[in-house]
Structure 1
């Protein structure tokens, strides 16, 4: 009896354990629902991302661009001093190098002497004009006297008081005096013409003096150009070959100045990415050298053509082996640097992301399908494109 009771007691817990276990069919159905819903969920998420995405266009084909100025001396000569060194930061007006100015100082002195000589000549011309006027007045007075004498001799000849010879002499004297007056008037006209037609002309307004002053100004400009200064703020480079004693000519490029105040990004986007890109759209720029820094910017302008259109050897699309290739169009991006923005150098690579504000929206075939079943897409399109 004891043995039978023990077996009965052991069987009861085993039966209870079997009754507490869930049915296998319910477990399998739950697993199936989970496995089936996961792809659907991923598809929904993927579709949402696709519809809402596409408004940000990015490219890594972008580089830092800064204006470069080739510094060319405007006068020839031997370099006597050099200012900044290689890759030094300079301000506008800073001395880059100086050329020996001895020859140009001498030219200025000669030009000053020429100006003084021209002024002296003008004063002489004014004196000559006054002298010519005085001589003309004297000649006119002598003519008047000779005319009066000639009339008197005619009267006396009629009275028989003088001979014909006396009258002939008086007539000859009158003719001589009249010729002297004509000659004196021509001298006055010539002296007046030498003064530019204006006897009261200012000395420095005389053509000869003005020409001398122009030469003096040119000589002073050449003298000032012996000091070559930076045309803008920036960084100088290619100065390693610049040494005192080196001779430079007017046509030789000596150093290069990179203007740091004109930093922009030249980004090359595919032509298919420019559909909704417009000037003024916000841009995020990340420089490869500073991956943790994001620089704000805006689209300044879109290129006038593709890169291949302005190449030295454009593609011959009329050839028989033509293959369509997606072209790239340069886009100029203006930066908005802040105080903590690290220094940028020409040619640095960058990642550019332009927010066009235009999402992809639903594909055309989906729109057609929804329209077929009577579901409008206006609200969906407005949500996808917030503009």
Structure 2
């Protein structure tokens, strides 16, 4: 037929004639084959499954055994901080700051000048005390002269008594013989009484002068007025020396921003702080549930967030007498009934037993692990 497809006729003519199974296999043989990865041998898959079934339980059992054996031998916390002695330095005298000799973070030694207060008012006080001593010395000289004069007054009064006594006896004898008047006898008697009164007055003045020259048991051998003036001078000299404020310990200057020339210094008001060198410890806040086996003296290991890899040996120096909340400004009050039990933290001081190769700074974060095996 003219409408027949010549390609179709060609395909039909190429098809084999005979076994249908062979005919079905012929196109498959003509299809191109893509290379695939070689299949995993069956014997490898055969032992992998038993290995996993055995090794995983062994690993879990080993990890659990290790945790069981080592559990409870150490207690640790990361709520720990480096502590150092901090000395707040204030002035013992009031006045205006005229010199500042230190700056922030400057290392100082004990005795170094920190700042100086205007010394002129205290120099004037020393001069006033010296003048008071001189005045007391002049007064003492005058008292000694007065005391010496009382001796002459006493002798004169005694002589006057002798004369008045003799005149009275003479007038009495004349009165008995009738050669004098009673008025004259009474006059001589009055003169005798006056002489006796003068002696008593002179004796009293001498005792008073002697008392003013006496020394007390508190300052034997020294006149009280002079001793008081000397004490006043010593106090003024001490205040003058305290106008130069010096470092009490070796350390590093801190919080010196408020120390400025021209500032008015008030007695007892902290002016600068010094972080002391050579003594550092760690205050670790352990949970109260960790304290069952913790004892003073147990070894500890301290590591620091600022220095990865640095670990220092230490020991438990003391265990706090109260929790952190107990000594807080606003302690917890659970009397209202709305109470939720919270694990408390107890401060534990850990002493550092070895010198650190890196500088320890007050307030640094630290991790502490305490070996409690000795108490178990």
For the superposition of Structure 1 and Structure 2, which TM-score range results when normalised by the shorter chain?
0.7 to 0.9
> Is 125-134 or 178-187 further displaced after alignment?
125-134
Hey, what does 1:62 align to over in structure 2? Answer: 80
1:78-128: CA deviations, max 9, x gaps? 222211211001111110011111111111111111122112212322322
1 CA distance for matches of 2:249 and 2:215? 48
- Match for residue 372 of structure 1? none
Name the CA distance, whole Å, in 2 between partners of 1:168 and 1:323.
109
Q: Does 1:344 align with 2:360?
A: yes
Does residue 1:354 correspond to 2:367, yes or no? Answer: no
| SS of residue matched to 1:264 | strand
Corresponding residue for residue 227 of structure 1? 244
Q: TM-score, normalised by structure 1?
A: 0.77
Question: CA–CA distance in 2 between the matches of 1:296 and 1:143?
Answer: 98
Q: Which runs of 5+ in 2 are unaligned?
A: 1-41
Distance in structure 1 (CA, Å) of the matches to 2:215 and 2:52: 110
Question: What is the CA-CA distance between 1:163 and the residue it aligns to?
Answer: 4.4
| Alignment match of 1:210 (pick from 217, 220, 227) | 227
Q: Are positions 1:321 and 2:327 aligned together?
A: no
Q: How does 1:1-387 map to 2 (within 5 A)?
A: 32=50, 35-36=53-54, 39-40=57-58, 42-43=60-61, 46-160=64-178, 162-196=180-214, 205-338=222-355, 341-358=357-374
Change in CA separation of 1:135 and 1:312 when aligned onto 2, cut-off 3 Å: same
Does the Cα contact within 8 Å between 2:215 and 2:223 map onto a contact in 1?
Answer: no
Deviation at 1:48, TM superposition (A): 4.6
Question: Distance in 1 between the 2:46 and 2:55 partners?
Answer: 14
Quick check: 1:288–1:350 contact (8 Å CA) kept in 2?
A: yes
CA separation in 2, counterparts of 1:242 and 1:135? Answer: 67
Asked whether the equivalents of residues 295 and 341 of structure 1 are also in contact (C-alpha less than 8 Å), the reply is no
The alignment covers a number of residue pairs equal to 332
For residue 56 of structure 1, report the CA deviation from its aligned partner.
1.8
1:313-333 Cα shifts (integer Å, max 9, x gaps): 222222333211111011112
Change (3 A) 1:172 1:72: same
> What RMSD in Å do the two structures reach over aligned CA positions?
2.9
Q: Which moved more, 1:311-320 or 1:246-255?
A: 246-255
TM-score by length of 2: 0.79
Q: What is the deviation of 1:28?
A: 7.5
Could you tell me how far apart the structure 1 residues matched to 2:147 and 2:371 are?
A: 81
More displaced stretch, 188-197 vs 111-120: 188-197
1: CA distance, partners of 2:313 / 2:139:
67
Alpha-carbon spacing, 1:126–1:50, altered in 2? closer, same or farther (3 Å): farther
Q: Distance in 1 between matches of 2:255 and 2:63?
A: 56
CA distance in 2, matches of 1:133, 1:262: 71
Give unpaired runs (5+ residues) of structure 1: 1-23, 359-385
Aligned-residue offset at 1:62: 0.5
* Counterpart contact for 1:268–1:328, Cα < 8 Å: yes
Q: Contact 2:215–2:224 (CA<8 Å) still a contact in 1?
A: no
* CA deviation string 1:281-327 (max 9, x = no partner): 22221122222322222212111111111122222222333211111
> Shift of residue 179 of structure 1?
0.8
CA shift for structure 1 position 153:
3.0
When residues 298 and 124 of structure 1 are mapped into structure 2, their CA distance, relative to the original with a 3 A threshold, is: farther
Shift of the 47–141 alpha-carbon distance from structure 1 to 2, 3 Å rule, reads: farther
Q: Secondary structure at the match of 2:72?
A: coil
